[in-house]
């Protein structure tokens, strides 16, 4: 009997229940919360500018639906801000949280709701990275950004009219974060073959296909077009689902993410997460022996950075980041192995025209 039991696998998948994407859907927030059988007090977590752009609308629709609403204004995603939100939530006796913003407020609300054991709804106002759907929160700890385990949002409300009116640079960065699935999956396959790391065929296929569809749609992703916001949001949701199936960020985060995190640590003025991941994907795809030219040209078509100068980062920091990247999350095996030599890093960056 024992043997049979041990042969059975157990698997937990946590997925958002309601994902609502489209024009003007922010006005349905109250309705979505009702549909999710939420009740009592809502706590909106937003930055001061997003509160005016979208938070107020969220507040009105929640009040119209009969919820009482409190608001927590937050700044950078630090643990102090997370604790501040927890305190406000306890005082307001909130029964669920809504993160309204481009990413920071969502990360803060996500982690606070995990600590408070309350449901959380993600209301992104920009589509710049896949954290708006995932169960991981990027939080600043001791001046470095770490990825903390949290819960998936129970609902995602992505208003494409709002997302399309956000600065285009954010949407283009979101594309970089999605395209990075390509090398993340290759790294995962490598870790599976070399380190016997558990691998999910389903998660990897969804993640790869998401990057593929986005690359094929590159021509259609343009500033000010709501359809573009729609395409990118769908891809971010699909990436989030792939991560939920895998139970980790593996399908969407590999060597290119390590490179981006290494840049965050050393560059005086890092670029956006998705922008750095996009450039990282070009280099890592070259190291994998894959079609890095396809990645580069898709990013170029979209209008995302493809080289050091477009990132606004000096070339030496790019090389340093390539040399340091393997030390970030060392347990996550990637094509970087135990590290690149300076010669290899220079060669990879030059061939791919990143420097
Ligand atoms: Zn990312």
Q: So what's the pLDDT on residue 34?
A: 97
> Residues 53-73: pLDDT tens digits?
799 999 999 999 999 999 999
Return the number of other C-beta atoms located less than 10 Å from residue 132's C-beta.
Answer: 28
Query: Final residue of a domain: which of 114, 145, 165?
Result: 165
Cα(278)–Cα(276) distance, integer angstroms: 5
Cα 130 to averaged position of ligand 1 atoms, centre (Å) = 6
223 and 269 in a single domain? The answer is yes
Cα 256 to averaged position of ligand 1 atoms, centre (Å) = 9
pLDDT of residue 3 exceeding 90, the answer is: no
Cα 71 to averaged position of ligand 1 atoms, centre (Å) = 28
> Residues 130-156: pLDDT tens digits?
989 988 898 988 877 788 889 899 999
pLDDT of residue 158 exceeding 90, the answer is: yes
Q: So what's the pLDDT on residue 151?
A: 86
Cα 129 to averaged position of ligand 1 atoms, centre (Å) = 6
**Residue holding tokens 């990075």?**
180
Q: Which domain range does residue 246 map to?
A: 168-351
232 and 124 in a single domain? The answer is no
pLDDT of residue 6 exceeding 80, the answer is: no
pLDDT of residue 1 exceeding 90, the answer is: no
Cα 107 to averaged position of ligand 1 atoms, centre (Å) = 13
CATH of the domain at 296: 1.20.1090.10
Cβ-proximal residues to 338 (8 Å cutoff; 6+ apart), any chain = 326
Cα(311)–Cα(304) distance, integer angstroms: 9
177 and 160 in a single domain? The answer is no
Cα 148 to averaged position of ligand 1 atoms, centre (Å) = 13
Cβ-proximal residues to 214 (8 Å cutoff; 6+ apart), any chain = 175, 178, 179, 221, 231, 232, 235, 298
Q: So what's the pLDDT on residue 142?
A: 81
318 and 178 in a single domain? The answer is yes
> Are 75 and 84 a contacting pair, CB within 8 Å?
no
Q: Is residue 302 part of a domain?
A: yes
Q: Which of the 8 DSSP states describes residue 28?
A: G
Q: So what's the pLDDT on residue 115?
A: 97
Cα 177 to averaged position of ligand 1 atoms, centre (Å) = 5
Domain count, the chain: 2
Q: Is residue 11 part of a domain?
A: no
- pLDDT average, residue stretch 240-247: 90
Q: So what's the pLDDT on residue 14?
A: 85
CATH of the domain at 107: 3.40.50.1970
Cα 153 to averaged position of ligand 1 atoms, centre (Å) = 17
Q: So what's the pLDDT on residue 135?
A: 87
């Amino acid at each position: 009997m024992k043997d049979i039991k041990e042969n059975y696998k157990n698997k937990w998948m946590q997925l958002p229940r309601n994902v609502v994407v489209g024009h003007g859907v922010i006005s349905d927030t109250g309705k979505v919360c009702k549909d999710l059988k939420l009740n009592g007090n809502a706590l909106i977590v937003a930055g001061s500018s997003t509160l005016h752009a979208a938070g107020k609308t969220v507040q009105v629709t929640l009040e119209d639906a009969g919820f009482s609403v409190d608001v927590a204004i937050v700044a950078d995603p630090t643990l102090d801000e997370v604790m501040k939100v927890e305190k406000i939530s306890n005082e307001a006796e909130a029964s669920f949280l809504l993160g309204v913003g481009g990413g920071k407020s969502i990360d803060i609300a996500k982690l606070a709701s995990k600590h408070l054991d309350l449901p959380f709804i993600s209301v992104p106002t920009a589509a710049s990275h896949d954290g708006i759907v995932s169960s991981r929160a990027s939080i600043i700890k001791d001046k470095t950004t770490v990825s903390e385990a949290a819960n998936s949002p129970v609902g995602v409300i992505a208003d494409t009219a709002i997302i399309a009116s956000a600065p285009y640079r954010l949407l283009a960065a979101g594309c970089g974060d999605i395209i990075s699935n390509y090398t993340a999956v290759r790294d995962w396959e490598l870790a599976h073959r070399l380190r016997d790391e558990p691998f999910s065929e389903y998660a990897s296929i969804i993640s790869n296909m998401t990057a593929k569809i986005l690359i094929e749609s590159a021509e259609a992703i343009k500033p000010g077009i709501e359809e573009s916001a729609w395409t990118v949001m769908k891809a971010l949701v699909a990436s989030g689902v792939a991560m939920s199936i895998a139970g980790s960020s593996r399908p969407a985060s590999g060597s290119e993410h390590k490179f981006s995190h290494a840049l965050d640590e050393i560059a005086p003025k890092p670029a956006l997460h998705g922008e750095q991941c996009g450039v990282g994907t070009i280099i890592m795809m070259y190291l994998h022996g894959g079609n890095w030219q396809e990645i580069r040209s898709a990013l170029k078509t979209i209008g995302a950075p493809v080289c050091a100068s477009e990132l606004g980062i000096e070339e030496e920091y790019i090389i340093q980041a390539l040399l340091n990247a393997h030390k970030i999350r060392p347990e996550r095996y990637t094509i970087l192995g135990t590290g690149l030599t300076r010669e290899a890093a220079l060669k990879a960056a030059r061939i791919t025209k990143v420097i």
